[in-house]
């Protein structure tokens, strides 16, 4: 009992918003007020209303406080003013499927600063699907719990470039019991790593443990398709449906996809999130998208990269998925952006991903790439082009200006007062 009380006390400490983040981009040192004006197009992230009739956003102390026309909102007392110069403002992109390990380094490709590089691709939030590339990753129950708690703590206090990495996602093993999930939740762990990457590969065991996780507020994801790394294995529709996880991880394969009939069966047999990833089968991604649209359930579609992986690290992976689904999946670009923002935020219970009052002030400011044949950003995405990023903002603080990774934007925003 004493151990559990201590774990709960520690978890509450790490949930406090006033704890400073280490190795972070500049923090606000006092009250802050951000004004973004002269917005040409505002994407909300919400499927039900993807475009907002507004040209100004106000955020105070990291939260959105006003959205509207410049003449109608209170912009006085701004500590930072950004002139968007007619560009597009969208919620910061969310990568629903990453595999972090330690800080801004990945042993999978022995690459440093990969998270910061994703920020230059518009990604402001990441969700761990398991820290599976940790060298010597422990598979005993004590070790895997310790590693999950460590990762949750480490990435809560480490935000490379300001990026919010929701980590600490243990890969479940057969020896775990209900009290293990209760202990993890008490310590602040809120995610499971991909079911199927550890010893649990059968439906009944997975369902039991997913139920325990859900009981204590831990969200679950399952590996789908053929094996991706040594130790993983085939997870087919029967296991996926019996496990009953909250998210169907890389339903388009990571990398090897299930047959179309099994993908359709999964889509029709549950209400879980349908995660489409960059490091998967593109044809299967488009098939899943068409199936979800036929079912009138595009709200279930979310996007990830499934990186770092054998395919490498893809800083522009989420933008590429948006462009792919819009151009080849015949989805309006403003809807495709919702897959990478509001859909994920709602499914993952995040306070970002939507331009709404009270949400975190996390934004990406974009325009069509220079020399794109399209007339607008949305048209360029529907033609298959990537937009150029001119600025990213997290918690109301400008984190990057012109992206070093995207094609150069035609127009870029400007900080005019600070």
Query: What's the chain's length in residues?
Result: 418
Q: Which two tokens stand for residue 244?
A: 């009953």
- Distance, C-alpha 6 to centroid of its chain: 30
Whether 52 has a pLDDT exceeding 60, the answer reads yes
Q: How far apart are CA 338 and CA 50, in angstroms?
A: 7
Model pTM?
0.94
Percent of the chain residues topping a pLDDT of 70: 92
User: For domain 33-91+354-417, is the CATH number 2.30.40.10?
Assistant: yes
Q: How far apart are CA 201 and CA 222, in angstroms?
A: 10
Where does the pLDDT of residue 11 fall: very low under 50, low under 70, confident under 90, or very high at 90 and above? very low
Side-chain half-sphere of 240: how many Cα atoms within 13 Å? 31
Beta carbons within 10 angstroms of residue 202's beta carbon: 15
Q: How far apart are CA 213 and CA 64, in angstroms?
A: 32
Cis status, amide bond into 172, omega within 30 of 0: no
Whether 234 has a pLDDT exceeding 60, the answer reads yes
Beta carbons within 10 angstroms of residue 266's beta carbon: 23
Where does the pLDDT of residue 248 fall: very low under 50, low under 70, confident under 90, or very high at 90 and above? very high
- Mean pLDDT, residues 268-272: 97
Domain span(s) for CATH 2.30.40.10 in the chain: 33-91+354-417
The pLDDT value recorded for residue 25 is: 54
Domain spanning 93-315 has what CATH number?
Answer: 3.20.20.140
- Distance, C-alpha 30 to centroid of its chain: 28
The mean predicted confidence, pLDDT, of the chain is: 93
Q: Which two tokens stand for residue 202?
A: 């059968």
Give the distance between the most distant pair of CA atoms in the chain. Answer: 65
The pLDDT value recorded for residue 22 is: 38
Q: How far apart are CA 318 and CA 276, in angstroms?
A: 10
The pLDDT value recorded for residue 344 is: 98
Domain span(s) for CATH 3.20.20.140 in the chain: 93-315
Q: How far apart are CA 361 and CA 418, in angstroms?
A: 17
Q: How far apart are CA 333 and CA 366, in angstroms?
A: 13
Whether 227 has a pLDDT exceeding 50, the answer reads yes
Whether 352 and 125 have beta carbons less than 8 Å apart is answered as: yes
Q: How far apart are CA 145 and CA 417, in angstroms?
A: 47
The pLDDT value recorded for residue 229 is: 67
Which residue did the predictor score with more confidence, 158 or 46? Answer: 46
Q: How far apart are CA 167 and CA 191, in angstroms?
A: 8
In terms of DSSP bridges, do strands 247-248 and 273-277 run parallel, antiparallel, or are they unpaired?
Answer: parallel
Q: Look at 11-20, 256-265, 326-335, 377-386 and tell me which has the smallest mean pLDDT.
A: 11-20
Q: Which two tokens stand for residue 59?
A: 């955020």
Three-state DSSP class for residue 48 = coil
List, for residues 55-94, the tens digit of each pLDDT value.
Answer: 999 999 999 999 999 999 999 999 999 999 999 999 999 9
């Amino acid at each position: 009992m004493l151990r559990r009380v201590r774990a709960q006390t520690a978890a509450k400490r790490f949930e406090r918003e006033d704890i400073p983040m280490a190795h972070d981009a500049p923090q606000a040192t006092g009250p802050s007020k951000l004004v973004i004006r002269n917005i040409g197009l505002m994407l909300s992230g919400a499927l039900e209303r993807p475009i907002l009739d507004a040209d100004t956003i106000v955020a105070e102390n990291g939260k959105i406080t006003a959205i509207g026309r410049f003449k109608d909102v209170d912009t006085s007392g701004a500590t930072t003013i950004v002139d968007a110069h007619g560009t597009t403002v969208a919620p910061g992109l969310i990568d629903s499927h990453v595999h972090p390990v330690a800080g801004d380094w990945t042993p999978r490709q022995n690459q440093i600063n990969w998270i910061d590089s994703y920020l230059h691709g518009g990604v402001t939030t990441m969700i761990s699907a398991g820290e599976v590339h940790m060298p010597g990753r422990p598979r005993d129950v004590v070790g895997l719990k310790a590693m999950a708690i460590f990762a949750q703590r480490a990435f809560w206090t480490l935000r490379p470039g300001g990026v919010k990495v929701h980590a600490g996602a243990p890969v479940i093993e057969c020896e775990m019991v209900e009290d293990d999930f209760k202990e993890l939740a008490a310590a602040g762990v809120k995610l499971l790593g991909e079911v199927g990457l550890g010893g649990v590969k059968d439906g009944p065991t997975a369902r039991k443990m997913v139920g325990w996780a859900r009981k204590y507020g831990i969200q679950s994801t399952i590996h789908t398709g053929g094996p991706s790394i040594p130790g993983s294995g085939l997870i087919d529709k029967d296991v996926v449906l019996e496990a009953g996880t909250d998210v169907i991880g890389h339903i388009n394969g990571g990398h090897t996809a299930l047959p179309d009939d099994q993908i359709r069966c999964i889509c029709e047999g549950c209400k879980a999130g349908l995660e489409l990833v960059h490091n998967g089968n593109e044809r299967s991604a488009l098939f899943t998208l068409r199936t979800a649209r036929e079912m009138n359930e595009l709200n279930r579609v979310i996007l990830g990269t499934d990186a770092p992986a054998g395919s490498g690290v893809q800083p522009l992976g989420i933008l590429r998925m948006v462009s792919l689904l819009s151009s080849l999946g015949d989805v309006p670009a403003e809807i495709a952006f919702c897959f990478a923002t509001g859909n994920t935020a709602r499914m993952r219970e995040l306070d970002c991903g939507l331009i709404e009052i009270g949400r975190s002030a996390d934004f990406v400011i974009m325009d069509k790439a220079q020399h794109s044949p399209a007339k607008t950003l949305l048209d360029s995405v529907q033609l298959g082009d990537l937009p150029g990023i001119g600025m990213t903002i997290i918690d109301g603080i400008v984190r990057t200006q012109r992206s070093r990774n995207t094609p150069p934007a035609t127009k870029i925003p400007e900080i005019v007062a600070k």
